[in-house]
Structure 1
Amino acid sequence: MSRPLLRIRGLRKQYGSRLVLSSIDLDVAEHEVVCLIGGSGSGKSTLLRCVDLLEVVDDGTVHLGESELTDPRLDPDVARRRIGIVFQSYNLFPHLSVLDNITLAPRQVHGVPRRRAEASARELLDRLGLADKADEHPDRLSGGQQQRAAIARALATEPELLLFDEITSALDPELVGEVLEVVADLKQRGLTILMATHEMDFARRVADRVCFLEDGVIVEQGTAEQVLTAPREPATRRFLARALDRS
């Protein structure tokens, strides 16, 4: 069996006396979509931020391909060039056009000439249904359009791994579907995705694997069908019952 693209072993993160992640082991294969589910404070977002080196890992290792991202000798900015991350808040620069937001990293970090970066960005915008928004500023876009622009920005550097952190939680309900359809399309294109989500129906439809986290521990993982329709662990069953009540 080939080595997974993302390999996490013994990951531990603590804030003061509060243990947020405890001995996390997780593999994500190339072209796989893995959904992280769990309640607020379960550690989903912290896990994603540790993978992207936005948080200092207290113990354990994170490998992307053959590289150990947690090696202190590795420049974190170099490591991040291989990863695209999208947050629940869009984090677009308000003073830049959508096109400039998307081309900023390719031009300034990867050294891509402006003309080539803009041509690639316009192709992405067209694919995501935003071709006519390239010259707009973010405040002229709906929430769903801003989140799609944020996804385009993450894709612009051609990352090996995409991280999505509750990317629909800040959206009005009628806008959620359009963003999730973008993620479904990315799956069809073979991208490797690790995402935290509270959209259980979407996870069932798109995820190759689902991991349920509680108190910083992966309590259960398996296929979407197994975890979401026939969970083995009582904690998973309790969480899904609450999630169903809220939906």
Structure 2
Amino acid sequence: MNQLNQPLLRIRGVRKQYGSRLVLRSIDLDVAEHQVVCLIGGSGSGKSTLLRCVDLLEVVDDGTIHLGDSELTDPRLDPDTARRRIGIVFQAYNLFPHLSVLDNITLAPRRAHGVPRKRAEEEARELLSRFGLADKAKEHPDRLSGGQQQRAAIARALATRPELLLFDEITSALDPELVGEVLDVVEDLKQGGLTILMATHEMGFARHVADQVCFLENGVIVEQGSAQDVLTAPREQATQRFLARVLERS
């Protein structure tokens, strides 16, 4: 259990470097339970790397990451055990093409959590129904639209009942007409009280759904605050320049 008023996710002084390239520079960030925190910033700003560090897909060079009472960056911690508490969805779906949608969703609960097949399939079908995919259970991913594949990927992430969900630009690979259906799913998850840390380029969605917004540039959180403050009245010139560029392209 978390201590009273302690954020679910606590990131302190996280640093990540690839060769001579410093990608994350002393990142500090708290994500409270049931909050949605959106990471915004240009390509190469460090958003995806930060998410991958939280999910232990990348080893941090310095700093600590805590999920509840556990330090995820403790080298003695089994990464697979830690990852069972976290769900992550990537922009490229990453569904297994040789498995049906149902088998994609039940794989982790059965293999990593020891859930019996019958129960895993019952729970997976409930998720598919919730996301409008009840009739796609036996289909393979290549028979689904991009929006349907992304919804299936979200269902797969939820199947292990994670404490924290990470979304990495989950709409960037979608055709514009499919973006809304995926963002509707994320909004439903927020209403259900899930804790979400997501990188996004959808500023309108971030304004609508985020409790906090963090603008990253060159591996640093330049500005963070409420969605209203950061996206409507940013204080920092770097944030203002970024939002002006985004507005020009929209």
1:104 correspondence with 2:107:
yes
1:34 correspondence with 2:33:
no
Give the equivalent residue in structure 1 for 2:219. Answer: 216
Quote how far apart the aligned CAs of 1:56 are.
Answer: 0.7
- Equivalent of 1:158, from 156, 161, 165? 161
Quote how far apart the aligned CAs of 1:189 are.
Answer: 0.2
Quote how far apart the aligned CAs of 1:79 are.
Answer: 0.3
CA distance in 2, matches of 1:161, 1:91: 19
Amino acid aligned to 1:181: D
CA distance in 2, matches of 1:147, 1:227: 28
Give the equivalent residue in structure 1 for 2:235. Answer: 232
- Equivalent of 1:129, from 129, 132, 135? 132
CA distance in 1, matches of 2:97, 2:55: 23
Structure 1, unmatched stretches of 5+, are none
- Equivalent of 1:22, from 21, 25, 45? 25
Amino acid aligned to 2:179: V
Moved over 4 A (4+): none
Quote how far apart the aligned CAs of 1:213 are.
Answer: 0.1
Q: Which residues of 2 match residues 65-80 of structure 1 at below 5 A?
A: 65-80=68-83
* CA distances 1:177-232 after superposition (whole Å, capped 9, x unpaired): 00000000000000000000000000000000000000000000000000000000
Amino acid aligned to 2:231: L
CA distance in 1, matches of 2:56, 2:112: 17
Give the equivalent residue in structure 1 for 2:48. Answer: 45
* CA distances 1:18-46 after superposition (whole Å, capped 9, x unpaired): 00000000000000000000000000000
CA distance in 1, matches of 2:30, 2:151: 27
- Equivalent of 2:171, from 161, 168, 172? 168
1:178 correspondence with 2:178:
no
Give the equivalent residue in structure 2 for 1:5. Answer: 8
Quote how far apart the aligned CAs of 1:70 are.
Answer: 0.2
Amino acid aligned to 1:210: V
Q: What is the CA RMSD across the aligned residues, in angstroms? A: 0.5
Amino acid aligned to 1:55: E
Give the equivalent residue in structure 2 for 1:57. Answer: 60
CA distance in 1, matches of 2:235, 2:195: 26
CA distance in 2, matches of 1:244, 1:112: 47
Question: If the length of structure 2 is used for normalisation, what is the TM-score?
Answer: 0.98
Residue 57 of structure 1 aligns to a residue in which SS?
A: coil
Residue 49 of structure 1 aligns to a residue in which SS?
A: helix
Residue 110 of structure 2 aligns to a residue in which SS?
A: helix
Structure 2, unmatched stretches of 5+, are none
Residue 74 of structure 1 aligns to a residue in which SS?
A: coil
CA distance in 2, matches of 1:46, 1:6: 16
Question: If the length of structure 1 is used for normalisation, what is the TM-score?
Answer: 1.00
The aligned length equals: 247
Quote how far apart the aligned CAs of 1:115 are.
Answer: 0.3
CA distance in 2, matches of 1:203, 1:8: 21
CA distance in 2, matches of 1:164, 1:149: 13
1:202 correspondence with 2:205:
yes
1:144 correspondence with 2:147:
yes
